[in-house]
Structure 1
Amino acid sequence: MVVVDRTDLVRVIASGQDGLITRAQALRAGFSRHDIDHLVTVGRWRPLARAVYLVRSRSIESPARQCRVRAAVLSLGPQAHAVFGTAAELHGIAGLPRGDEIHVALPGRAAKRTRVSDPAIVLHQLEHPPGKVVQVNGIAATVPRLTVAEIILRERRYAAVSVLDSALNRGLITTECLAAIAVLIRGRRGAIAARGYLAEADGRAQSPLETRTRLRCVDGRVPPDALQLEVRDDDGYLLGIGDLGWRGPQVIAEADGRDPHATVEAAFADRRRQNRLVNAGWTVLRFTWQDTLRPDYIPWTVRQALVAARSR
């Protein structure tokens, strides 16, 4: 018979939970309540949520976001699951601002009985059947289709369309899902606006910045006629791919996100690609997140480029 040391057992459990252990798991592993309290007092275990501890806390000054989300869900019991922006975050769906809040749901009676002391945890009283909840890296969360549906009912247009585009681009939902989502949200508060967001969704957008740039162009009445436009020379050689394109006047708009274009190698590659496109007769415009905060700037700049291109 192999006897497993309780400390080793806790270490094994915690290794599959972002370094976390619940009080109940520690008790089942053989620790007493006094043992647990002592480990917390001396700083070996750090409380991250109610009855959830980070093991070997001295080596981790700031727990990762996923660790904090897992702690919040674990602290609220087996029926708890991430919802809204927190579920989207776990699925890798972009488009919402990243805040400190952690959105967790419990069914009716369980939610009413639960008191949350952590101000970062936002508890929602929601009923979700088992088939609508999945495990994402071991953390319970609503399935992508439901996650997106609930977000677009709550968010404004730019964020909502960005979420839809991201989910489509990552293959977490399909274009066929959009019709199903429209049915899912029927009759709910915000459904009329959300149906409009569904109509504007386009999975070719590779980032929320591309989505926002496109929507600014649409609102400014200079919508692009192509996304992820491939530009080739007479021999078929690929010169570059433009985020947004106007094929007739040969204008391309690039959405320059901070992370993808931050490295020196990326900057050099961007310049080489732009030179190839310009030499082939294309006008290349570049927009940043800051540019999308002004409703008039992007469409005005695009319109000027289109006029100049057509007068050549």
Structure 2
Amino acid sequence: MDALLRARAAGQSGLVTRTQARDAGLSPKAIEWRLGTGRWQVVHPGVYQTLPGRGGWETRAVAALLHAGPGAALTHESAAHEWGLIRQAPGTITVVIPAERRARPVEGVLIRRSRHAAARTDPRAWPHRTQVEHTVLDLCSGRGPDRAIALAAQAVGLELTSTGRLRSALGNRRGQRDRSLLLEVFAEVADGCESPAERRYVRDVERAHGLPHGRSQSPFGRVGRRDREYEWGVVVEVDGRLGHASWTDVQRDGRRDRSALVAGRVTLRCYWTDLVPSPCGLAGEVAQVLRARGWAGRPRRCGPGCSIDDSAQLWNLAPR
């Protein structure tokens, strides 16, 4: 291998295409000799691994891109994994190519075609992938608000994008489903919501029951943040982990709660099961604590089945 081909292979997880090898001066016979002796291995038709034994998800992803040809980019879950938005590497590599091109199907690779492929591909990222904004929008389509806020908050939290850029990308996608819902989600992310559980708290506890508007991601200490803080010294921590927190997480949360108490703040810690299927009981508890700390308002029923009795004597008592 000449130096140029060796450098190209190094930048492609050890992979080269037959065209790249021929352009570097290798004859068909030289290529077949390398394959026959095991120095190279066939990954896909016309795509060879020059470092046998090298594997892993990213190697498979690069092999899929080389097989799909010019203009190919990772998309959907494959792009999201490369951006760090989802941890679990997808079993199937999903690639998008320009609509005018074709690519032979191969095992383990799903090839999509789109007339927007070039415009939505990030020009700087390697392996080539769709821009993070379009990756988020692809995965949000028809998946509901919880999925949308989790992905959008993750992308913004990692500083890969901003809610303004997400809205701009949405404006360029006329066929995007759930447009109004996504605009609402992006506004909530901009306001500080970082998880589906936090969104449900704001929507189903605060707004639905007429509670005061808390401050999202209120800073404390050097790097700490509180999920929701009210001016009466009440902090609400919203934990959406469905009871799977590690012992380390439990200890950290306990230290945070004690720190708040020392500073004169009381902490209410709630969980996904407090929000789903009914958040009314939690809303009543938050309202009582707020009134005990000086809030002069009173909650309201969110609907006919709400467990809060807004006419009860409790709410007629003057706040402390």
Same fold (TM over 0.5): yes
Structure 1: tracts of 5 or more residues without a match: 1-5, 232-236
Q: 2:57 aligns with which of 65, 70, 74?
A: 65
Task: State the distance in 2 between where 1:292 and 1:7 align.
Answer: 62
Q: How far is the alpha carbon of 1:83 from its aligned partner?
A: 2.4
1:53 aligns with 2:48: yes
Cα separation, 2, equivalents of 1:310 and 1:230: 20
**In structure 2, which of residues 93, 99, 102 is the aligned counterpart of residue 102 of structure 1?**
93
Aligned length: 282
Equivalent residue, structure 2, for 1:122: 110
Corresponding position of 1:278: 261
Q: Is the 8 A contact 2:170 2:176 kept in 1?
A: no
Q: Indicate the residue corresponding to 1:234 in structure 2.
A: none
**Structure 1 segments of 4+ aligned residues over 6 angstroms from their partners:** none
Indicate which of 256, 266, 276 corresponds to 1:295.
Answer: 276
How far apart, CA to CA, are the structure 2 residues paired with 1:50 and 1:304?
Answer: 64
1:49 partner amino acid: H
CA displacement 1:280-304 (0-9 Å, x = unmatched): 33215265xxx4798337x468446
Distance in 2 (alpha carbons) for counterparts of 1:309 and 1:217: 16
In structure 1, distance between residues paired with 2:215 and 2:89: 30
Shift of 1:142: 2.7
With over 3 angstroms needed to count, the CA separation of the structure-2 counterparts of 1:129 and 1:108, relative to structure 1, is closer
- Corresponding residue SS for 2:79: helix
Over 3 Å counting, the alpha-carbon distance change for 1:308 and 1:80 in structure 2 is same
Q: Do the aligned residues in 1 keep the contact of 2:120 with 2:130 (CA within 8 Å)?
A: yes
User: SS in structure 1 opposite 2:66?
Assistant: helix
Structure 1 pair 122/230, CA: closer, same or farther in 2 (3 Å)? same
Runs of at least 5 residues in structure 2 that lack an aligned partner in the other structure: 208-212, 293-320
Show the counterpart of 1:158. Answer: 146
User: Greater CA radius of gyration, 1 or 2?
Assistant: 2
Question: Which residue of 194, 208, 232 maps to 2:179?
Answer: 194
1:225 aligns with 2:210: no
Amino acid across the alignment from 2:255: R
Mapped contact 2:80–2:86 kept (Cα < 8 A): no
Cα gap change, 1:147 to 1:238, in 2 (>3 Å): closer
Q: C-alpha separation between the residues in 1 aligned to 2:182 and 2:134?
A: 15
The two structures have a TM-score, normalised by structure 2, of 0.70
User: Aligned partners of 2:90 and 2:256: how far apart in 1?
Assistant: 35
Distance verdict in 2 for CA 1:44–1:98, change over 3 Å? same
Q: 1:177 to 1:10 in 2, by over 3 A?
A: closer
Q: Partners of 1:293 and 1:82 in 2: how far apart?
A: 38
State how far apart, in whole Å, the 2-side matches of 1:34 and 1:257 are. 58
**How far did 1:126 drift?**
0.3
Q: Residue by residue, what CA displacement relative to the aligned partner does 1:148-200 show, whole Å, maximum 9, x if unpaired?
A: 344333433222222222333344433433443343233x262xx23212212
Q: For residues 46 and 270 of structure 1, do their structure 2 counterparts lie closer, same or farther at Cα, with a shift above 3 Å needed? A: farther
2:70 counterpart SS class: coil
Bigger RCO of structures 1 and 2 (CA < 8 A, at least 6 apart): 1
Asked if structure 2 preserves the Cα contact closer than 8 Å seen for 1:145 and 1:181, the reply is yes
Q: 2:83 pairs with 80, 86, 91, which one?
A: 91
Tell me which residue corresponds to 1:3.
none
CA distance in 2, matches of 1:91, 1:197: 20
Where 1:109 maps in the other structure, the secondary structure is: coil
| Superposed displacement of residue 229, structure 1 | 1.3
SS of residue in 2 equivalent to 1:221: helix
Identity of aligned pairs, percent?
A: 21
* Cα contact 1:85–1:96 (8 A) shared by 2: no
The answer to whether the Cα contact below 8 Å between 1:44 and 1:55 also exists between their aligned partners in 2 is: yes
Q: How far did 1:77 drift?
A: 0.7
RMSD: 3.8
Indicate conservation of the 8 Å contact 2:39/2:50, yes or no: yes
